[in-house]
Amino acid sequence: MKKLVLFFIWLLVFSTVSYALVETQIDPGKLHFYMYGLETCPHCQKMKEEIPKFYGENSLTYYELINNDENNKLFSAQYKYTGIAGVPAIGIAYDGKLVAIVEGEYNVSATPKIVQAALDNGGLILFTGGQAYIIKNETIIQELQAIYVEHRMPGEGQTTTTTASETTSTTTNPGSEICGPGIAVVLAVLPLVLWKKRR
């Protein structure tokens, strides 16, 4: 009887794992995260720990907003396209292309499903303000690609060489960004997006 129970447990675990692997064809080695955040934000600090723990030490590029005018300028520019004013603001790139932006803390293990949904829908998935959106406008996607992945203002030809941890001068208003509770929003909306995709 004990062997039979162990067999069924093994079968359940194996089928769950194999289903997850078959369902998404996303290569975790091609994922990279770009995050705007504040050193004083507990949500940012948690994501700075969780992403590398789950996807590897070199999977995250972090852009500090406190005392960094360049990062503040870029963060302000992305607001025009996303409406994101809270941190963390996390851009998810797959194979070098920005495919999703999440405002707030979220369950990073859901990243492959988010990326797959973006690829299946041919756009960029945006989670902000309790809503999920698909952006299909290539111009807007390229502008956001420049801000998050290339770390430069849209329309500028060169990529900046300033690292995320460097500071250039004091920020005009370091408290203007919102340390957002985005995890609740993302966790509530993600199943709806994935469910809609399957219909």
Position 196 scores a pLDDT of: 55
Position 79 scores a pLDDT of: 96
Q: Is domain 29-198 given the CATH code 3.40.30.10 in the classification?
A: yes
pTM: 0.71
Cβ proximity of 59 and 30 under 8 Å: no
Position 165 scores a pLDDT of: 37
Position 178 scores a pLDDT of: 56
Average pLDDT per consecutive 10 residues, the chain (199 residues; last block may be shorter): 52 48 77 98 97 96 98 97 96 98 96 96 93 95 97 74 34 43 45 55
- The domains of the chain are located at 29-198
Position 118 scores a pLDDT of: 97
Nearest Cα residue to 97 out of 142, 62, 67, 137: 142
Sort 145 into a burial class: Cβ within 10 Å, 0-12 / 13-18 / 19+. buried
